[in-house]
Amino acid sequence: MHVRKALPSPVLSPHFSPLAQQTSLRLLQKKFPDSARVGRLEGMICEAEGDFEQAAKVYLDLRERYPTDPVSFLYLECQLPWAEVGVSS
């Protein structure tokens, strides 16, 4: 059985400048305005920048808009508590 490994997002690469990250994010948001994946990318960029409060807001919004999306739930409930963000379910 072949298991496909997820490749890291080039947008989150340390070699990608913050301006390039934001520009790429805006282009993706324009092309896919209702995408949960693009929303998660926005949250990951906020986390990478150390803005855990904004990341929590992004993930909470995603959880409200896409209640059946397990990945957004996992980011909110599993990753952000390590950042000591006060988010209540």
User: Which pLDDT score, from 0 to 100, does residue 27 have?
Assistant: 92
User: Which pLDDT score, from 0 to 100, does residue 7 have?
Assistant: 44
CA distances from 27 to 11, 32, 56, 68 (A): 12, 9, 22, 26
The C-alpha atoms of residue 11 and residue 47 are separated, in whole angstroms, by 13
28-79 pLDDT per residue, tens: 999 999 899 999 999 888 888 888 888 888 988 998 998 888 887 787 777 6
User: Which pLDDT score, from 0 to 100, does residue 85 have?
Assistant: 53
Q: What is the mean pLDDT of residues 21-26?
A: 86
Name residues whose C-beta falls within 8 Å of residue 65's C-beta, 6 or more positions apart in sequence. Answer: 36, 39
Q: pLDDT category, 84, cuts 50, 70, 90? A: low
Query: 41: alpha, beta or left, given left = phi > 0 and alpha = psi -120 to 50?
Result: alpha
